[in-house]
Every structure is written in structure tokens, then in C-alpha cells.
């Protein structure tokens, strides 16, 4: 009977039933499975709703878009585009990556589209600043704002992929295999882009920090 059920499962899903089934590779998102960063247990697979995704990730999406260079003025619109895309694609989501990795991919692409549109309009993105509620005295807050502004300028000067790797790895602190999965690049390429981004950002800081530095 077990064989029969497996056979039926094979007919329905094209893969054997059972907990040890090995999903066939299907694109870069597969790498995320190997990272072991699944943010949903197997038991919950197949039952994730848009409502749950929105509730669990709305704030993270807003933050990630801001870190990827979307301005405070536009972040809500871009986030809306992200979630509309997620809503449209969710029925086809096959758990080949974690929902988190999947959503990061939408954010990266939409932020990339945004950058391109902005470039066509020849506008300068003005990413937001941390809320005053983040704590700390005003002067320290001001210094943090200046340093973050400098980093944002440095990021804006980078080639897109290098900027994305830097944000995902250094700021979001995702493991590099997951970063590579999100960007759809080989792992080694991810390391290369990160290395180049680091070099350029450190140079940018070395060049701009000293003149603006306080005595």
C-alpha cells in the first residue's frame, strides 16, 4: 500500500512522498534550502497565506527597501508593489526557498527597478534617517545620521549588484549562500561582489571621512 501511495504521490507531484524527499533543483533559490534557514517548519508548508506573509514581513520589507536606497517618500509605494507581486505569485510558491528569501528577492528587484526609474528622472534618492525614537542624545544621533548618509552615498555610487550584496550581507546580515540565492548568482560571485563593494566603500569612507571628521 505504501508503494501505491508513493506512486500516486509521484503522479500528483512528480516526486516521491515521504519526509526524506529531495526536491529537484530549480534555479538559484534552491541554494536557500541548503542554507538551512527555513523560517517555516515543514508542517506549515503549503498553508502560508498572504495575510501571514504581510503580517510577518511588512515592517521588514519597508526597512529593507529603505536600506536598498528607496527614499522615505517612495518606500510605501514600492512596498505596495512588492506585496502586490507577492500576492500574485504566492499561489505558485513551491517552497524551494524560504518565504523570507523569496520576499527579499522581490524587494531587491523592486528596489532595482526604482533605482532605474530614478536614474531616468535624474533624481537623487534621499533615503530616510533613523527615527529620533531610536534613542541617544541629539548629538550622537546627528553623528549617526551623518555617517549613515555617507554610507548611503557610498552605496549609491556602487554598481547595483555590489550594493545589493553589501546591503544583504553586511546590513541585513544574511549568510552569503542566501544572498547568492536572492540575487541569483553563484556563491563565488557573491563573495567577489562583496569584496569589491567593501574595497570601494572603505576607500569612499577614507576619502570623505577625514575632511568632514571632527577634530
Partner 1 sequence: MKSAREPVRITDARSSASPELSAAVHALRALHGSPEQLDALGRSLAPQLAAPTFAGSLTSGLRAGSKWLLAGLAAVIVGVGTTALLERAQAPASAVAAPQPVARSSLKSREPSPPYARARATDKPIVESEPAAAVPAARPRRSRDADRRLPPPTPAQVLVPRPELALLEEAHRLLKHDPAAALLLVEEHERVYPGGVFTQERELLAIEALLGLDRKQPAIERAQRFVQGYAESPHAPRVRALLRRSRPLGAAASEAPR
Asked whether position 157 contacts partner 1 by CB under 8 A, the answer is no
Task: Concatenate the DSSP letters of all residues of 99-121 into one string.
Answer: HHHHHHHHHHHHHHHHHHHHHHH
The CA–CA distances, whole Å, from 30 to 1, 100, 179 equal: 32, 13, 12
Residues 6+ apart with CB under 8 A from 98: 32, 33, 37, 38, 39, 40
Residue 116 C-beta: closest distance to partner 1, Å: 22
The residue within the footprint of partner 1, chosen from 97, 169, 181, 200 (CB under 8 A), is 169
Q: What is the DSSP letter of 74?
A: T
Residues 6+ apart with CB under 8 A from 189: 180
Taking CB under 8 A as the binding criterion, the range among 33-41, 107-115, 117-125, 156-164 that sits at the site for partner 1 is 33-41
The residue within the footprint of partner 1, chosen from 38, 118, 148, 156 (CB under 8 A), is 148
Taking CB under 8 A as the binding criterion, the range among 62-70, 109-117, 118-126, 156-164 that sits at the site for partner 1 is 62-70
The CB-based long-range contact list for 131-136 (8 Å cut-off, 24+ gap) reads none
Asked whether position 20 contacts partner 1 by CB under 8 A, the answer is no
Asked whether position 51 contacts partner 1 by CB under 8 A, the answer is yes
Asked whether position 1 contacts partner 1 by CB under 8 A, the answer is yes
Residue 112 C-beta: closest distance to partner 1, Å: 18
Q: What is the CA radius of gyration of the chain?
A: 20
Binding mask 117-146 for partner 1 (x = CB under 8 A): ----------xxxxx--x--------xxx-
Question: Per CB under 8 A, which of residues 170..189 are in contact with partner 1?
Answer: 170-171, 173, 175-177, 187
The CA–CA distances, whole Å, from 50 to 5, 103, 158 equal: 31, 12, 34
Q: Report the C-alpha gap between 155 and 163 in whole angstroms.
A: 6
The residue within the footprint of partner 1, chosen from 25, 27, 58, 123 (CB under 8 A), is 58
The residue within the footprint of partner 1, chosen from 41, 91, 211, 215 (CB under 8 A), is 91
Asked whether position 44 contacts partner 1 by CB under 8 A, the answer is yes
Asked whether position 156 contacts partner 1 by CB under 8 A, the answer is no
Residue 8 C-beta: closest distance to partner 1, Å: 6
Amino acid at each position: 500500500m505504501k508503494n501505491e501511495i508513493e506512486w500516486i504521490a509521484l503522479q500528483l507531484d512528480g516526486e516521491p512522498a515521504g519526509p526524506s524527499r529531495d526536491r529537484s533543483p530549480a534555479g538559484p533559490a534552491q541554494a536557500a534550502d541548503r542554507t538551512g534557514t527555513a523560517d517555516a517548519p515543514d508542517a506549515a508548508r503549503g498553508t502560508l497565506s498572504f495575510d501571514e506573509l504581510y503580517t510577518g514581513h511588512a515592517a521588514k520589507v519597508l526597512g529593507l527597501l529603505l536600506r536598498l536606497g528607496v527614499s522615505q517618500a517612495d518606500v510605501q509605494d514600492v512596498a505596495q508593489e512588492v506585496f502586490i507581486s507577492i500576492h500574485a505569485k504566492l499561489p505558485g510558491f513551491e517552497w524551494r526557498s524560504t518565504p523570507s528569501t523569496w520576499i527579499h528577492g522581490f524587494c531587491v528587484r523592486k528596489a532595482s527597478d526604482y533605482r532605474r526609474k530614478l536614474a531616468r528622472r535624474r533624481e537623487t534618492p534621499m533615503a530616510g534617517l533613523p527615527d529620533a525614537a531610536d534613542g541617544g542624545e541629539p548629538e550622537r544621533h546627528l553623528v549617526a545620521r551623518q555617517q549613515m548618509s555617507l554610507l548611503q552615498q557610498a552605496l549609491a555610487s556602487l554598481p547595483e549588484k555590489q550594493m545589493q550584496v553589501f546591503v544583504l550581507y553586511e546590513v541585513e546580515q544574511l549568510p552569503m549562500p542566501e544572498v547568492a540565492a536572492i540575487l541569483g548568482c553563484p556563491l563565488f560571485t557573491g563573495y567577489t561582489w562583496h569584496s569589491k563593494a567593501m574595497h570601494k566603500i572603505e576607500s569612499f569612507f577614507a576619502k570623505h571621512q577625514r575632511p568632514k571628521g571632527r577634530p
